[in-house]
Structure 1
């Protein structure tokens, strides 16, 4: 399949390139001066359809590539205050210069008709009004309807299937990647258009030198100075519900700010709006989403694959403030200050049934294990950030200082209904209860600096990043008999202590050398990473604690020294962009177990190249290709010799039986063909990715139904994965309809030792999605999404095959009998099937909204989950363990909400 698809892509691309012709030249006026922004179109004679088009640059130069079977074609040139030119050209490569005569035009009457989508250079502009419906209120409501743009559940904006690297408002990056707040709270009425900046390089001094494969989004507001924002206040019942959202915003030419307070207990995780969704360019320094180092966890109930408003039992308060200002007269300098605080509590509960098929290695004659889990999670998270930036064409400077703190507490009450003996399925089950608690405070500090200084005709870049992180976790499980199989039956409670510290230091220097369309960037750097893990398990009996000995303790150091040198080679022309990075990396890694006096090290110099290229052709087509090779020699926490409770049902030792360091080699390659035609509102892309991961270690599980132990074994194995995908979308202006269809196919394999038995499994998964929205009638709007999936899991060791499938569809329809009234209906339907089990979960919602048009205030009443469904049911399979798991997850009952929504000005 892979070879056939690759051959088709190569042949198809070859045919296109063979048939493609190009015309180029210079356009001037009667005085011989270059004419910029003149439009050049190629059409077939007698047909009112544009084959290709181009726009002249500041020097009057134009270049248009086209494909046609006609022997002659019509070339048309238009420019402001110039007489249009129409001439016949031959279907062949050629160069032609044109001189346009002046033609002053008296405008007696002006009629403006906004185009839905326009393109100029690498910028595609979308008129927001053309895609909205009467029920849309915020930018996010409309953005997901625009062709070529998707919005993930976590708020990440995708363009042509790839995440954007920047989110601007009036050309300024206030949110620095955490754009969820603006996207969800910026009123659509304040926006004039959305611009997609293709191949966007955020660092101004590097534009036209170092290409980028990612796009950015710029939100153009109707006014250069805008005071706006969005607010909601709501209440409801079943149980008592409340919702508050207050997000005032100001966007000026010198200053921008957003203040955000959101709190609710109606199932909306507003705290995720503070997550980093875009990371800009590597030349801006290092930024990452802060995360705790997780060594151990309580048992956790499952999460349904539905919208969080249906299952999330929360009580959250989230505050954030973002400020951008230009502190000096030189507006190139910007100061940004960001702060946020989250206080959140979440309840979660489920009932899980595990059925092992006869012959399973986990339970020899099969068996059924039932467990129920009840969780309470309490999170307190604070973040502060200060960013000082100069992003000019003659220099770049950026310093980012970030502080994060977490104070989290997790609780779990677990009831496990187990067979008393592995082979006696008729005996009375045994109930084993556990009360589990986890305290996990963490603190992080990071400072990242990057500067680019022009030196003669060269660019010199210095980058430095220092990060310190400290994590502490204390897991307590009561009673200890819950884990008899681990040897803890004599204790009333068991406590797992872990402490870890990490210090990262990264320094680098590079010089950019330009020659015509080429840029060469030699770079030297040093990465240092120092880590320590200490852990111990204690047992409590009659009020006294006892350490369980060295087998249950760790004092581990993991240190890395990585000097490297690399050369970046970049080529950029009008149609072709090429980026190749050729690094030679030296890895010096040491692992030291201070308790067991074991010492391992790995010293190796490796070549880890990375390449991507893009080619624009035939005006609307773009072909991407990428390939890379990388090594992984493990990271902090990959190895430790003392046993740790990673959760109350899993006791792990991560150490190789032959005492060797990990060495994983990953190679990947892929391509993507895109078509973007704003003239007929058509977009599509075809993707192919292939990767291999060659490993020298393998995870070895020992499982007895309910509990498991893990260690590492030395065994070479290779994991392979390939994915094919396609997406096509078109907007039909005449019918005011946006339609897109997408599909993927993924094939992969995996290896593991399971109860001393080496097993290989293969997985084949297909997905298909359809999105449709229509606003043809002024009194009706319809949004419909459906996604389907199929998977086949095969245990190659014994040819056991499990199949599963599922689908998920959502229908949202709104009726507008007048400007003041809106009636809404929502239908979610989700289904999963596996091994003869089938579960279908259906939800219905109704809403009514009265709009005070003059004041732009909405009064909304919602009835959610009309059928009062209380559990979400699903089924999945594990082919290696010959295990079928069904899960009932408790969700929010039927509820009523009354909400007042308004804009700030």
Structure 2
């Protein structure tokens, strides 16, 4: 019986294969010669694409048919320089010979007469990609930079009219989950029909009727012909001195399956980890309310130079990045995002720092040579059901991130070595279920569970600061151990009453955070004996934080107004104890944190916003441990205060202006915050070490910020121009060496930019940023510092002859500080690329850092400190690459 079933199954499979009949033909020109690379599309009676192919070098084509139901089917053949030809399919067995006629109207539709245009429909604005793309552009990210109203930061973060996007959808699907850099870098702009800006984006279908969302998202609408096959590219590159750059990307965007899978490796200063940046991760952490320290130990405050990362990074890195989404049906999908990053970095720098205090100046000189080895393995599995009557979202994330740094350093003429090992394991599951009842009311169930371990070890040899840590006697070394396992859960149920334009939501829930901080600081004597430095350098701290909360939210929306009022009430209980440090404390607090937000549509395209919130916050385990921890080789931190409490008032307002058809976008925002803290960090500074202890002393921080930006497409010049100005001011206090100094910090920044098409074969871009920072201690004869920096970038893209492109770019930096000489740098790069169309391959030769700059000086200003640093950076690099596109 089993053999019979197997035989029948094989026969059916064979029959289904043979049932797929090929539709064949040949495309010729008027002289009867076959035409290569003609687009041949098979469409049904409704105009839907059934299949798609290109003719070979002889003009022949072949497409598979799944059945004989060909009523109304048509073949469309199109190619540049020829008129489109449409033929009706009458017989599957017939060989279709198609003759294309030369196009006589090609010159009448040259780009000179066509101007880019935008179309708007409801909350969605459509940019036609072809209107902004040029021959030299490769990915959709290259084109986004030229679209008025859209801004792309150096790290890939996208903003629209001053607001960061919440998601980048690919044909309506959230394939990349906020880590969208791989998409903007990899998706060819030629595969994207249009870019949609979705204002008030609400991905949950059942909530769109009474949509209170203020999010902005982008959607890349993929062309029909690009959905029918796997696309991608493979790059192989080699250069001098001893450089390599390899990349393989494959992607598919059909209705059932979408993926972008990538493998890359290089040592040219391009960080593959940039593809894994979650641009809205900080907002996500705030929503979770799980404030665990990310890492307590470090190798020092090396920092990075104020340059694009590609200019200073010494690396050897590889990344596997797999993003796959499968749709079971229109409402149910499964997504897997899996990545592994391995990196080896080198960093060399010299740094000199001065901290100005009344009657004294603390000076600190340091040289470091670091070898850094970060790794990260991350797997995320998301099941999403999104229908009009229910919403289900389950997100499982597993992350393992070992990190090792080995460095040799010299601190104020004292040499030593250090090794830092950190190992983070993070497992979390987030579940969310919403159900719409017959009454249109909605019930929502939410649960989040997280387990984290992050052991850290810092080893320093020989022992430093013997006068503080070993009674003035020399010794072999120090070892700091830390473990901080964390359990956290957050759960709630909410019920939303929906009536016309008014929604009332009532929520009740609880969260629990349990942590254990175990730390020990050991010293190793010259006789190899290991012992605790003192009894006050050990922590065995148990922490339990529980919160019970309720929240009432009232929302109203109509064509012009959206308003929301939230009234969250929480009962907070914290208990922490450490028998070794005679610590056993608890805290009970009842908080109400109201919030109000309003959005009013002043016209079809323009709106104003206003918001206010009051927030009470409690500190975490990092604020209460008593045993001293060696945070790095020159920093000893501890606490002598109860749990920090803060009260914050935040108020903001904004105006967004848009004239889409004229491609004019502008925005103005203002924010003010007033925060009162119950503790302050007191620093005791010397030329060799800094000691910090948190003390119970009130501390007030006030800040204000103003920002204005504008972007406009100039049709006559075929250029997108942008400009912006920002102002920020903060008032706060610092306690250093028993001197309490109130500071006023003020920064004013200006920016301008242009993306211009000078001629049909020359494009030019320019961007300038100028910032002025002033710091002043607001006391008699107070300390003052001033810092100015101008950064200019320009690029010229030239099409020299057919399919040969030349790119020249330059970057200029000027830094000025009154007590230091001016710092001036000019970087230049050149790149030449040839598109070998027949082989679908780009051959590219480039030289970066033409002037061969190998060291970079930088100045940093913060309050009463001035720091100057000298960094080793890669010199001139030449690369030859070949990229095959498929």
The normalised TM-score by structure 2 is 0.84
The one-character-per-residue Cα deviations of 1:239-258 (angstroms, maximum 9, x if unpaired) are: x0000111100111011112
In structure 2, how many angstroms separate the alpha carbons of the residues matched to 1:170 and 1:460? 29
Report the equivalent of 1:649.
634
User: 1:855 deviation in Å?
Assistant: 4.2
User: 1:213 deviation in Å?
Assistant: 1.3
In structure 2, how many angstroms separate the alpha carbons of the residues matched to 1:276 and 1:290? 18
The answer on whether the counterparts of 2:168 and 2:219 sit within 8 Å (CA) in structure 1 is: yes
User: 1:326 deviation in Å?
Assistant: 2.1
**Distance change (3 Å), C-alpha of 1:379 and 1:155:** same
Report the equivalent of 1:158.
159
**Distance change (3 Å), C-alpha of 1:118 and 1:210:** closer
User: 1:818 deviation in Å?
Assistant: 2.4
The one-character-per-residue Cα deviations of 1:801-821 (angstroms, maximum 9, x if unpaired) are: 111100111001111122311
1:408 equivalenced with 2:403 (yes/no): yes
The answer on whether the counterparts of 1:177 and 1:278 sit within 8 Å (CA) in structure 2 is: yes
In structure 2, how many angstroms separate the alpha carbons of the residues matched to 1:483 and 1:152? 47
In structure 2, how many angstroms separate the alpha carbons of the residues matched to 1:132 and 1:822? 15
Report the equivalent of 2:674.
692
The answer on whether the counterparts of 2:115 and 2:715 sit within 8 Å (CA) in structure 1 is: no
Report the equivalent of 2:261.
259
The correspondence of residues 176-575 of structure 1 with structure 2, limited to 5 A, is 176-223=177-224, 224-238=227-241, 240-278=242-280, 293-327=294-328, 330-355=329-354, 360-361=357-358, 364=359, 366=361, 368-416=363-411, 418=412, 431-457=413-439, 458-481=441-464, 484-487=467-470, 489-541=473-525, 542-575=527-560
In structure 2, how many angstroms separate the alpha carbons of the residues matched to 1:557 and 1:292? 15
In structure 1, how many angstroms separate the alpha carbons of the residues matched to 2:271 and 2:323? 19
The answer on whether the counterparts of 2:466 and 2:474 sit within 8 Å (CA) in structure 1 is: no
The one-character-per-residue Cα deviations of 1:64-116 (angstroms, maximum 9, x if unpaired) are: xxxxxxxxxxxxxxxxxxxxxxxxxxxxxxxxxxxxxxxxxxxxx99997852
In structure 2, how many angstroms separate the alpha carbons of the residues matched to 1:337 and 1:291? 26
In structure 2, how many angstroms separate the alpha carbons of the residues matched to 1:289 and 1:219? 33
The one-character-per-residue Cα deviations of 1:611-639 (angstroms, maximum 9, x if unpaired) are: 22211123221111111111111013122
CA-atom RMSD in angstroms: 2.2
The correspondence of residues 23-62 of structure 1 with structure 2, limited to 5 A, is none
Report the equivalent of 1:65.
none
The answer on whether the counterparts of 1:285 and 1:463 sit within 8 Å (CA) in structure 2 is: no
**Distance change (3 Å), C-alpha of 1:156 and 1:290:** farther
In structure 2, how many angstroms separate the alpha carbons of the residues matched to 1:291 and 1:321? 29
The answer on whether the counterparts of 2:634 and 2:689 sit within 8 Å (CA) in structure 1 is: yes
User: 1:295 deviation in Å?
Assistant: 1.1
In structure 2, how many angstroms separate the alpha carbons of the residues matched to 1:289 and 1:231? 41
Report the equivalent of 2:723.
741
The answer on whether the counterparts of 1:405 and 1:442 sit within 8 Å (CA) in structure 2 is: yes
The correspondence of residues 594-743 of structure 1 with structure 2, limited to 5 A, is 594-656=579-641, 660-743=642-725
Report the equivalent of 2:6.
none
In structure 2, how many angstroms separate the alpha carbons of the residues matched to 1:650 and 1:481? 11
In structure 2, how many angstroms separate the alpha carbons of the residues matched to 1:289 and 1:546? 35
User: 1:835 deviation in Å?
Assistant: 2.6
User: 1:356 deviation in Å?
Assistant: 5.3
**Distance change (3 Å), C-alpha of 1:125 and 1:577:** same
The answer on whether the counterparts of 1:600 and 1:661 sit within 8 Å (CA) in structure 2 is: no
The answer on whether the counterparts of 1:821 and 1:850 sit within 8 Å (CA) in structure 2 is: yes
The answer on whether the counterparts of 1:385 and 1:400 sit within 8 Å (CA) in structure 2 is: yes
Which of 562, 568, 572 pairs up with 1:583? 568
In structure 1, how many angstroms separate the alpha carbons of the residues matched to 2:360 and 2:386? 67
In structure 2, how many angstroms separate the alpha carbons of the residues matched to 1:289 and 1:198? 29
The answer on whether the counterparts of 1:313 and 1:347 sit within 8 Å (CA) in structure 2 is: yes
Which of 890, 895, 901 pairs up with 2:877? 895
User: 1:493 deviation in Å?
Assistant: 0.5
**Distance change (3 Å), C-alpha of 1:366 and 1:717:** closer
In structure 2, how many angstroms separate the alpha carbons of the residues matched to 1:226 and 1:515? 47
**Distance change (3 Å), C-alpha of 1:333 and 1:679:** same
User: 1:485 deviation in Å?
Assistant: 4.0
**Distance change (3 Å), C-alpha of 1:591 and 1:289:** closer
In structure 2, how many angstroms separate the alpha carbons of the residues matched to 1:778 and 1:177? 36
In structure 1, how many angstroms separate the alpha carbons of the residues matched to 2:792 and 2:229? 38
The normalised TM-score by structure 1 is 0.82
Report the equivalent of 1:844.
828
Q: Secondary structure at the match of 2:484?
A: strand
**Distance change (3 Å), C-alpha of 1:455 and 1:281:** farther
User: 1:482 deviation in Å?
Assistant: 5.2
**Distance change (3 Å), C-alpha of 1:407 and 1:355:** closer
1:857 equivalenced with 2:836 (yes/no): no
The answer on whether the counterparts of 1:286 and 1:448 sit within 8 Å (CA) in structure 2 is: no
User: 1:226 deviation in Å?
Assistant: 4.8
In structure 1, how many angstroms separate the alpha carbons of the residues matched to 2:660 and 2:457? 57
User: 1:286 deviation in Å?
Assistant: 7.0
User: 1:701 deviation in Å?
Assistant: 0.3
**Distance change (3 Å), C-alpha of 1:290 and 1:326:** farther
In structure 2, how many angstroms separate the alpha carbons of the residues matched to 1:332 and 1:814? 45
The correspondence of residues 822-837 of structure 1 with structure 2, limited to 5 A, is 822-837=805-820
In structure 1, how many angstroms separate the alpha carbons of the residues matched to 2:292 and 2:721? 38
Farther off after superposition, 347-356 or 547-556: 347-356
Q: Secondary structure at the match of 1:565?
A: strand
In structure 2, how many angstroms separate the alpha carbons of the residues matched to 1:754 and 1:727? 38
User: 1:672 deviation in Å?
Assistant: 1.0
Farther off after superposition, 753-762 or 149-158: 149-158
The one-character-per-residue Cα deviations of 1:464-494 (angstroms, maximum 9, x if unpaired) are: 0000000100100001035644447432010
Question: Which runs of 5 or more structure 2 residues have no equivalent in the other structure?
Answer: 1-104
